């Protein structure tokens, strides 16, 4: 509840939206300063009888070193949350706070699933026809090996199929040309591995102009390229708003519509929100965590990466 530029107020408003939309309060555990949270809940008319509040008065600031802060601020909401997650007392964690601290917690408090070489995060790419594509890695794996891209393709396929509801997702390798053999050494080496990978529907190379078109549902690249694409897409919404352009397609670039992104490949659902998340974003992050829990996405990933069918091994 203490994560993000507008916390805890916007987090509380997000909880209110979730409850007003029919969500169950007994599914929520609110981590943060108990007194502050309780006062905000009362101010917004939110009954506390179903909600659980866990006192965690410290916050990790955005500028703090994530590993050091997690060690030194043991009563921070992120540190307490990962402790509860590792102990099995909660099933997922959501925060719009320090991204580095969330990633360190995901990697070392609950750890990657067996067979996962590197966990990854993705980015939602709004397409012109109104559907969503999913691009990964979006920034935590700037340098990759071909085997990593193969695993990202499998993780993205499972997420898109079971959480976004696309039945038979198409996987494309982001490249500088459509023909096999194009691209740098990484892309050239990853292509044949993706073509032979079981459990994914690989359609070949896609180009930058295809990202916002309905060509591939899962788009795979290393995190350096992925983060550049993500930040470029974010700038589109900012420019459109500043220029007062009204178009329903450009409205889909609003990050709040999707809430946050999951860390894929770790043992429990971890959802990371934008630092400037508002109420709508928090509401949608809660819904995303619910879908991941109810569909047991970590269990599906564990099964897919079992020794008998581990991609990229």
The verdict on 108 and 24 lying in the same domain is yes
Give the whole-angstrom CA distance, residue 294 versus residue 289: 9
pLDDT tens readout for residues 1-52: 988 889 899 999 999 999 999 999 889 999 999 999 999 999 999 988 889 9
Alpha-carbon Rg for the chain in angstroms: 19
Co-location of 232 and 126 in the same domain: yes
Of the pLDDT bands very low, low, confident and very high (cuts 50, 70, 90), residue 106 is very high
Residue 310 has pLDDT above 80, yes or no: no
Say if residue 139 is in the same domain as residue 234. Answer: yes
Residues 6+ apart with CB under 8 A from 291: 163, 297
- CB 30 within 8 Å of CB 1: yes
pTM reported for the whole predicted model? 0.91
**pLDDT tens string 262-288:** 999 999 999 999 888 899 999 999 999
- pLDDT at residue 296, rounded to an integer: 96
Let me know if residue 97 belongs to a domain: yes
**pLDDT of 191 higher than 80:** yes
pLDDT of residue 138: 93
CATH number of the domain at 218, please: 3.40.718.10
Q: What gap in Å lies between CA 282 and CA 273, rounded to an integer?
A: 8
Q: Report the C-alpha gap between 34 and 40 in whole angstroms.
A: 10
Same domain? For 303 and 200 the reply is no
Q: Is residue 259 part of a domain?
A: no
What 3-state class would DSSP assign to 171? strand
Give domain status of residue 260, yes or no: no
Cβ atoms within 10 Å, residue 83: 16
Residues 227 and 130 grouped into a single domain:
yes
193 and 144 in one domain? Answer: yes
Range of the domain at 53: 1-116+265-313
Average per-residue pLDDT for the chain: 92
Three-state secondary structure along 9-39? HHHHHHHHHHHHCCCCHHHCEEEECHHHHHH
Q: Do 130 and 245 lie in a common domain? A: yes
In the numeric block, the tokens 């459509």 are attached to 178
Q: Are residues 199 and 279 in the same domain?
A: no
Query: Alpha carbon of 171 to those of 74, 101, 154: distances in Å?
Result: 41, 30, 9
């Amino acid at each position: 509840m203490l994560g993000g530029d507008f916390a805890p107020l916007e987090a509380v408003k997000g909880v209110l939206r979730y409850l007003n939309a029919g969500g169950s309060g007994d599914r929520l555990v609110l981590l943060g300063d108990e007194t502050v949270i309780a006062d905000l809940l009362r101010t917004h008319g939110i009954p506390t009888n179903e909600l659980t509040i866990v006192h965690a008065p410290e916050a990790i600031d955005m500028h703090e070193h994530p590993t050091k802060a997690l060690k030194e601020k043991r009563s921070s909401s992120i540190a307490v949350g990962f402790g509860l997650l590792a102990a099995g007392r909660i099933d997922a964690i959501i925060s719009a706070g320090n991204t580095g601290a969330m990633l360190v917690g995901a990697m070392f408090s609950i750890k990657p699933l067996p067979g996962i070489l590197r966990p990854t995060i993705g980015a939602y790419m709004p397409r012109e026809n109104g559907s969503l594509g999913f691009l990964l890695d979006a920034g935590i794996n700037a340098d990759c090996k071909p085997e990593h891209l193969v695993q990202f393709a499998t993780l993205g396929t499972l997420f898109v199929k079971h959480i976004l509801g696309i039945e038979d997702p198409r996987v494309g390798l982001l490249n500088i040309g459509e023909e096999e053999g194009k691209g740098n050494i990484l892309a050239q080496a990853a292509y044949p591995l993706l073509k032979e990978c079981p459990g994914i529907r690989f359609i070949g190379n896609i180009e930058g102009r295809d990202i916002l078109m309905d060509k591939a549902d899962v788009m795979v690249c290393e995190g350096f390229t992925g983060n550049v694409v993500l930040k470029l897409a974010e700038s589109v919404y900012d420019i459109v708003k500043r220029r007062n352009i009204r178009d329903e397609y450009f409205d889909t670039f609003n990050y709040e519509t999707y809430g946050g992104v999951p860390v894929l490949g770790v043992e429990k659902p971890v959802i990371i929100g934008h630092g400037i998340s508002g109420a709508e974003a928090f509401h949608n992050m809660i819904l995303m965590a619910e879908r991941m829990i109810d569909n047991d996405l970590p269990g599906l990933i564990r099964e897919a990466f079992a020794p008998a069918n581990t991609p990229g091994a």
